[in-house]
């Protein structure tokens, strides 16, 4: 974890998010309270469409909630300007999207190194090689996203999120497209990352993945959440 | 990995739209250069036309002036100097006076510092009988022009050639009636004379006039060293007021003479000459005016053309950029999620448009560097490309236009929350 990151406690209070659609408003998040600290490996589960991805986006400062506050230590990200928030993200947050979101015209290595444009440092090249090695993508490093399988894309997306060693990682179904052994690699990678002192928040359906976490957030039928710690 | 690499990768990824944008810029820059070249070339042909017309007018006027100057001797123009005692009614009655004055009066005038008169022609005139043919003849003895001494080499060209001793020049009636041809020898009042020239009909007393050397006439009339008039010709007759000055000046040098001003046909001629000049100039002015109108019309048309083409190009570039931004919203969302700030995202999109502008401009310049000299010649080429403001416009405007066309979509694309951009995709 980069040394310049302060030791966050992530605190969300009264988070509400409603989507307006033609058929009417969809209340996805209602009055969500959550508190996470350094070293937590959090799993988020619930039926499809319950709002797992939305919660990750809101917590990951990618989507402003309709109400409620989000605090990283003393910092209120949604109180910052969009640029300020982008800078905050670049320094503290890694995000693995459910649908990978690789840049189509960059090859795997370039995609992984992309966050380095905002925060350049000398060891990005060896760091990217290390991640490629660790996630079994070394022989795919020159391939473009449309030449990869879903599992490969997923691992590339994870490598990209890990590049700058952010203090908090959001992973949206990171094992959704992986076979058992590759899934294990990814889960171990995230678990080790959390053990090293970062916070990992993962949305998943996967029972193996669910058992990796030390804290569980369960979406209830009635929109609320239940938080369980082990 | 840096921003420039991303830009390069993106451009080579979406080559098609990039090249379409480049061609929009090429078309707009080329149409500007072409319009400019057409205008410059028509302006320069207008100036050439003006120069040729002006030169023609000058030539025509100077030819006219020469003709007028030569014809003035036949007009009996300007000033006659007669002896003081001469009764003017006699002059008006018979065209010459009976009083005489010494021939050296003309030398006196010629050796003075006279400025108002350019030509001095002493003469002895009398109506005589050509005994051999029983014919009335107005006999004029001329000495040729007496050069005005102080003018030296600067004096005016002689208006008439002197008649040499032993020669005679005959008016129309005199040679026509008797079938005399130049080169023949005739007898006139007992003298053998060589006919050197014969005049065509003028319908004046000139037709019964015979010109001889002054000395011969003095001898024939028994009036040695005497003359009965001096013709003083003033050629630069631009103002009537100068006649008073001429009279005054001559009166001071030759006090016992009288001066009369003959009818001034030459003035009318000079007036006519001025009129020709004015008409010519008016014609040139009208030509210039109509040509200018033409050029103004042409430049309005070409400006409109350039504006329309530029507007279309801007629209095209804007459309391409908009659709590019739409196509790139995933990328904008992803990069935004990774912490790319608004400035970087705008830069990413603007640079593409800027490169489009620069590439298009350079291509258009290369094309026109070859095409303009071929189509309109070196002169137009130099005029178009040496003008710094043109070069400036050519270098900056298309790129700025491409940039500003990209500006709005860039700002729009980069100001949304990344999640929203990604989801709208
Ligand atoms: N932009 C949007 N406009 C309207 N409705 C939306 C929008 N984004 C998401 N939703 C709806 O919000 C709900 C929550 O979506 P979300 O993606 O957070 O679910 P999820 O729990 O991640 O589902 P899954 O397990 O299938 O990934 C869904 O019903 C979805 O249809
Ligand atoms: Mg989801």
Alpha helices in chain A, H assignment, sequence order? 52-59, 82-92, 108-113, 124-134, 150-162, 180-195, 207-210
Please, which residues have CB within 8 angstroms of residue B35's CB and are 6 or more apart in sequence?
Answer: B302, B303, B305, B306
Lowest mean pLDDT among A202-211, B160-169, B363-372: B160-169
Distance of CA B248 to the CA centre of its chain: 39
Instruction: Report the SS3 class of residue B80.
Output: strand
Interchain contact, A86 vs B422, CB within 8 Å:
no
Q: Which residue has the tokens 């080429």?
A: B381
A vs B, Cβ pairs < 8 A, gives 85
Of A17, A24, A26, A201, the residue with max ligand 1 atoms within 8 A of its CB, to mutate for a pocket test, comes to A26
The phi and psi torsions of A91 (rounded to 5 degrees) equal -90, -25
pLDDT of residue B312: 80
How high is the pLDDT of residue A110? Answer: 95
Q: Which of A52-61, A104-113, B47-56, B90-99 has the lowest mean pLDDT?
A: B47-56
> From the CA of B401, how many Å to the nearest CA of chain A?
26
* Chain mean pLDDT for chain B: 81
pLDDT at B159: 56
pLDDT at A230: 78
Lowest mean pLDDT among B130-134, B135-139, B145-149, B178-182: B145-149
Closest Cα in chain A, distance from residue B363 (Å): 26
| B200 pLDDT tier (thresholds 50, 70, 90) | confident
Question: Residue B160 has what pLDDT?
Answer: 63
A26 lines ligand 1 (CB under 6 A): yes
Q: Is the pLDDT of residue B153 over 80?
A: no
Write down the pLDDT at residue B412.
75
B1/A89 Cβ within 8 A: no
- Long-range (24+ apart) CB contacts under 8 A made by B12-17 are B12/A105, B13/A104, B13/A105, B14/A105, B14/B324, B14/B327, B17/B320, B17/B323, B17/B324
Q: Which ligand is nearest to the CA of A51?
A: 1
Q: Which of B78, B111, B39, B106 is nearest to B376 (CA)?
A: B39
Average pLDDT on B35-60 reads: 82
Residues of chain A found within 8 Å of residue B344, distances taken between Cβ atoms: 117-118
What sign for the dihedral angle of Cα B223, B229, B230, B235? negative
Q: Where are the alpha helices (DSSP H) in B72-171?
A: 88-94, 104-111
CATH architecture label of A3-229: 3-Layer(aba) Sandwich (3.40)
For a ligand 1 pocket test, name from A18, A47, A50 the mutation site with the most ligand atoms within 8 angstroms of its C-beta.
Answer: A50
- Structural domain spans, chain A: 3-229
Q: Which atom of ligand 1 lies nearest, measured to the CA of A98?
A: 27
Residue B282, Cβ density class (10 Å: 0-12 exposed, 13-18 middle, ≥19 buried):
exposed
**Residue among B10, B333, B337, B341 with most chain A CBs within 10 A, to mutate:** B337
Q: Which of B3, B415, B419 sits opposite A62 (nearest CB)?
A: B419
Helices B342-386 and B265-327 pack at an angle, to 10 degrees, of 160
On whether the CB atoms of residues B402 and B25 are closer than 8 A, the answer is yes
Ligand 1 proximity of A49 Cβ (cutoff 6 Å): yes
Torsion of CA B130, B131, B136, B139, to 10 degrees: 30
d(CA B108, CA B120): 11
Residue A147 neighbours by CB distance under 10 Å = 12
Q: What is the distance in angstroms between the CA of the first residue and the CA of the last residue of chain A?
A: 24
Query: What are B368's two structure tokens?
Result: 């026109």
Spatial distance between the Cα atoms of A125 and A136, rounded to a whole number of angstroms? 16
Span from the CA of A183 to the centroid of ligand 1 (angstroms)? 24
If pLDDT is split at 50, 70 and 90, which confidence band does B75 have?
Answer: very low
Instruction: Write down the ipTM of this complex.
Output: 0.89
A54 touches ligand 1 (CB under 6 Å): yes
Q: What's the pLDDT at B291?
A: 79
Q: Sheet containing B229-233: give its strands across.
A: B185-188, B191-198, B167-170, B209-213, B135-142, B119-130, B229-233, B79-83, B257-261
State CA A10 to chain mean position distance. Answer: 14
Return d(Cα B285, Cα B292) in angstroms, integer. Answer: 10
Average pLDDT over residues B202-208: 87
More confident residue, B406 or A58: A58
Cβ B118 vs Cβ B234: under 8 Å: yes
Q: Does the pLDDT at position B154 exceed 90?
A: no
Q: Does the CB atom of residue A53 touch ligand 1 within 6 A?
A: yes
Q: Which of A59, A84, A90 is nearest to A202 (CA)?
A: A59
Between B6, B335, B342, which is nearest A82 by CB?
A: B342
Would you tell me how many other CB atoms lie within 10 Å of the CB of residue B265?
15
- Mean pLDDT in consecutive groups of 10 residues from the start of chain A, 230 residues: 56 93 89 92 93 94 95 94 91 93 94 92 92 95 94 94 95 90 90 94 90 90 79
Tens of pLDDT, residues B16-30: 988 988 888 888 888
């Amino acid at each position: 974890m980069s040394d310049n990151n302060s030791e966050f406690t992530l605190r969300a209070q009264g988070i509400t998010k409603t989507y307006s659609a033609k058929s009417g408003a969809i209340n996805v998040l209602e009055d969500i309270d959550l508190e996470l600290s350094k070293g937590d490996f959090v799993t988020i589960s619930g039926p499809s469409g319950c709002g797992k991805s939305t919660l990750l986006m809101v917590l990951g400062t990618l989507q402003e909630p309709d109400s409620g506050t989000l605090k990283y230590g003393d910092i209120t990200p949604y109180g910052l300007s969009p640029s300020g928030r982008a800078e905050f993200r670049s320094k503290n947050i890694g995000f693995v999207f459910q649908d990978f979101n690789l840049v189509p015209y960059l090859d795997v290595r370039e995609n992984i190194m992309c966050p380095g444009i905002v925060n350049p440092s000398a060891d990005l090249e060896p760091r990217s090689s290390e991640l490629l090695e660790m996630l079994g993508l070394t022989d795919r490093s020159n391939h473009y996203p449309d030449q990869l399988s879903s599992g490969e894309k997923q691992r590339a997306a994870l490598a990209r999120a890990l590049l700058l060693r952010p203090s908090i990682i959001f992973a949206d179904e990171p094992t959704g497209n992986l076979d058992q052994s590759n899934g294990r690699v990814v889960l171990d990678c995230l678990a080790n990352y959390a053990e090293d002192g970062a916070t990992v928040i993962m949305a998943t359906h996967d029972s193996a993945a669910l058992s990796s976490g030390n804290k569980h957030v369960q979406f209830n039928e009635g929109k609320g959440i239940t938080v369980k710690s082990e | 990995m840096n921003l420039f690499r991303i830009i390069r990768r993106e451009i080579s990824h979406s080559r098609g739209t990039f090249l379409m944008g480049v061609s929009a810029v090429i078309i707009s820059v080329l149409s500007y250069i072409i319009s400019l070249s057409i205008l410059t070339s028509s302006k320069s042909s207008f100036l050439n036309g003006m120069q040729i017309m002006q030169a023609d007018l000058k030539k025509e006027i100077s030819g006219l002036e020469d003709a007028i100057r030569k014809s003035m001797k036949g007009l009996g123009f300007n000033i006659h100097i007669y002896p003081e005692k001469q009764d003017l009614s006699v002059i008006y009655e018979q065209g010459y006076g009976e009083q005489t004055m010494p021939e050296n009066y003309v030398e006196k005038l010629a050796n003075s510092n006279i400025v108002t008169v350019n030509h001095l022609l002493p003469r002895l005139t009398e109506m005589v009988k050509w005994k051999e043919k029983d014919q009335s003849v107005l006999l004029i003895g001329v000495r040729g022009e007496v050069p005005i001494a102080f003018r030296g080499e600067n004096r005016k060209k002689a208006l008439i050639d002197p008649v040499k001793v032993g020669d005679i020049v005959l008016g129309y009636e005199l040679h026509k009636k008797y079938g005399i041809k130049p080169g023949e020898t005739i007898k006139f009042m007992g003298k053998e004379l060589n006919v050197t020239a014969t005049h065509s009909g003028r319908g004046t007393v000139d037709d019964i006039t015979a010109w001889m050397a002054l000395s011969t006439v003095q001898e024939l009339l028994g009036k040695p060293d005497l003359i009965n008039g001096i013709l003083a010709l003033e050629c630069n007759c631009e103002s009537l007021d100068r006649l008073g000055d001429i009279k005054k000046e001559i009166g001071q040098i030759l006090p016992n003479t009288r001066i009369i001003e003959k009818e001034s046909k030459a003035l009318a001629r000079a007036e006519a000459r001025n009129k020709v000049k004015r008409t010519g100039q008016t014609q040139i002015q009208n030509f210039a005016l109509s040509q200018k109108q033409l050029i103004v019309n042409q430049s309005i048309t070409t400006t409109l053309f350039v504006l329309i083409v530029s507007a279309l190009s801007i629209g095209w570039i804007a459309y391409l950029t908009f659709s590019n931004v739409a196509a790139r919203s995933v990328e904008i969302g992803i990069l935004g999620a990774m912490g790319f700030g608004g400035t970087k995202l705008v830069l990413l999109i603007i640079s593409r448009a800027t490169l489009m502008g620069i590439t298009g401009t350079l291509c258009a310049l290369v094309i026109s560097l070859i095409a303009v000299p071929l189509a309109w010649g070196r002169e137009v080429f130099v005029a178009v490309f040496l003008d710094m403001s043109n070069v400036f416009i050519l270098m900056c405007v298309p790129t700025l236009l491409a940039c500003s066309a990209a500006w709005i979509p860039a700002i729009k694309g980069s100001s949304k929350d990344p999640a929203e951009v990604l989801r709208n995709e």
